[in-house]
Structure 1
Amino acid sequence: MPADPSEAPAPPQLRHVEEVMGTVFSFDVRGGETAAMKTALEEAVAGLHSVNEVFSTYRDNSQISRLARGELTIEECDPEVAQILQLCSEAERLSDGWFSATFQGTFDPTGIVKGWATERAALHLVAAGASGVSVNGGGDVQLCGVPGPQRPWRVGVSDPLRPGGLAAVVSAAGTAQLAVATSGTAERGTHIVDPRTGKSAVTDLVAVTVVAPKLTWADAWATAAFAMGARDALSWLEDLPDTEALLITAGDEVRCTGGLAARLG
């Protein structure tokens, strides 16, 4: 009789928590050769610190700050700077300007950098041989593979109107890669900018959670959707490929894209 996959031994596990980029990153890595995974984890963490050094707008000597002051050209910066500029431009185009890295003449790509850096860290661990990876960057999560035999990753989505409660649980079953990103006012208050006014976005939403394969885009789309407001955001999100979303209004109304139910655990 063939062995029951659910009874297979759990793969080796590594966990790590790192404070960087003004937030907390948590790693949960499954499988792979232990020594190689430890090395890959150290490299992934070092990569996050490198991203912070290059892109932090709070550091006067960061490349992005020096670029903004005209002290560096894009060609003189690390290649990742040109890559992020291209991603920001693409996000602005696809969101019809609702995602923007430019506010009142100041360039700030941090709205896309954290998701991109989190996704990159997760993929680095997969490339090193991990069978399952979860990287949580300040509440936005990139998932790859599986945590164990016949077990998908699951991510709880906080209820912004009921502290400590969950609005939903997202399952990564049936997919090799899934990301979950939330933008809203529950944790950080009003901080999302309406790029059309340069002021804080005033909408009927308190939270937008986007589910997509890549955290780079899930994070950007959650930000753009929150700025749009519930009605416009829902129709826009419905049209994005491989993207589902959960929207919660200040009046405790829940709206979701048509395919979200298939992603709920």
Structure 2
Amino acid sequence: MRLVRQIMGLPISLEVPGGEANAAERAFAWLREVDRRFSPFRDDSEVTRFDLHGPQSPEMREIAGLCRTYERLSGGAFRARLPGRAFDPSGIVKGWAAQRAGELLRAAGVSRFCLNAGGDVIAAGRTWSVGIRHPDQPHAVCAVFAVRDLAVATSGSYERGQHIVDGRTGLPARELVSLTVVAADLTTADAVSTAAFALGHEGIAWADAQPGCLVYAVDAARRVHRSAALDDLLVPPGTIAS
């Protein structure tokens, strides 16, 4: 059973076994709650109150802590508060929220599912084929990974333009067009892919050095860089993972 909902301004799809619709809707409800509470575009969100030094929920403190961690690990390339701008943890929130949604599914007894939050994926319970969009051909993929009980997150400039900023310079990150991270959880995969994209070329090796992370990147010259261990997950062209 495949369900799709429009949340956070993007399509979120969830494949679960038949009969798990209630658990799926609870996961979607959580993602709607996150959109309401942590959107930087809402005047009444916790992100806005955080910027105004208002009260913080445990979840808001966790998000802010993750932002500080990846700012430190990336040497400031990842930054949730750019000079002259309001606090914006969007580079952390989507992966964190989807990871929590996956945990809700598991707590409800759903062990086999594939959650796709705008291209950031949790693949659980069996082997799923996860395609990485080609940066120049919207209807093609440049790689397909066969993943099980792993998360896949991609940061790129081909959908939303140059929206990822290098926090060290305040300028858009332009050295890469796509960077994908495979990790055990989507919070890590999403945060590392965003920070690595902001770092540019040096972000490829940086992401590869993060514990448990594998990297597939396409630079501005359309050269492909990948972790050697990804060879075990790559699906040969013309085949589909079972």
Q: TM over 0.5, yes or no?
A: yes
- Rounded Cα–Cα distance in structure 1 between residues aligned with 2:55 and 2:169: 28
CA contact (8 A) 2:135 2:177 kept: yes
Report the AA paired with residue 97 of structure 1.
G
Q: Which residue of 1 aligns with 2:109?
A: 129
Displacement, 1:181? Answer: 0.9
Displacement, 1:169? Answer: 0.5
- 2:21 maps to which of 38, 44, 58: 38
1:113–1:160 Cα change, 3 Å: same
Larger Rg: 1
1:222 aligns with 2:209: no
- Deviation per CA, 1:232-259: give whole Å up to 9, x if none: 1222122112111111122221111121
- 1:213 maps to which of 159, 184, 196: 184
Q: Which residue of 1 aligns with 2:239?
A: none
- Rounded Cα–Cα distance in structure 2 between residues aligned with 1:29 and 1:95: 36
Q: CA RMSD in A?
A: 1.5
Q: Which residue of 2 aligns with 1:8?
A: none
- Rounded Cα–Cα distance in structure 1 between residues aligned with 2:186 and 2:76: 19
CA contact (8 A) 2:179 2:217 kept: yes
Q: How many residues align?
A: 234
Identity between Structure 1 and Structure 2 (%): 44
- 1:89 maps to which of 57, 64, 68: 68
- 1:202 maps to which of 166, 171, 174: 174
CA contact (8 A) 1:155 1:169 kept: yes
Displacement, 1:91? Answer: 1.8
Q: Which residue of 2 aligns with 1:102?
A: 81
CA contact (8 A) 2:40 2:87 kept: no
- Deviation per CA, 1:171-191: give whole Å up to 9, x if none: 114xxx211111111111111
- Rounded Cα–Cα distance in structure 1 between residues aligned with 2:33 and 2:138: 34
Q: Gapped runs of 5+ residues in structure 1?
A: 1-13, 147-151
- Rounded Cα–Cα distance in structure 2 between residues aligned with 1:93 and 1:145: 34
TM superposition outliers: structure 1 runs of 4+ over 4 Å = none
Q: Which residue of 2 aligns with 1:4?
A: none
Q: Gapped runs of 5+ residues in structure 2?
A: 236-242
- Which moved further from structure 2: 92-101 or 59-68? 92-101
Report the AA paired with residue 81 of structure 1.
M
Report the AA paired with residue 61 of structure 2.
A
Report the secondary structure of 1:259's partner residue. helix
- Rounded Cα–Cα distance in structure 1 between residues aligned with 2:32 and 2:82: 25
1:26 aligns with 2:13: yes
- Rounded Cα–Cα distance in structure 1 between residues aligned with 2:55 and 2:100: 25
- Rounded Cα–Cα distance in structure 2 between residues aligned with 1:185 and 1:16: 27
- Rounded Cα–Cα distance in structure 2 between residues aligned with 1:236 and 1:224: 9
- Rounded Cα–Cα distance in structure 2 between residues aligned with 1:241 and 1:67: 30
CA contact (8 A) 1:99 1:221 kept: no
- Deviation per CA, 1:146-194: give whole Å up to 9, x if none: 2xxxxx1110111102332211111114xxx211111111111111111
- Rounded Cα–Cα distance in structure 1 between residues aligned with 2:186 and 2:74: 16
- Rounded Cα–Cα distance in structure 2 between residues aligned with 1:235 and 1:94: 13
Report the AA paired with residue 233 of structure 1.
G
Report the secondary structure of 1:107's partner residue. coil
Report the AA paired with residue 228 of structure 1.
L
1:153 aligns with 2:132: no
TM-score normalised by length of structure 2: 0.91
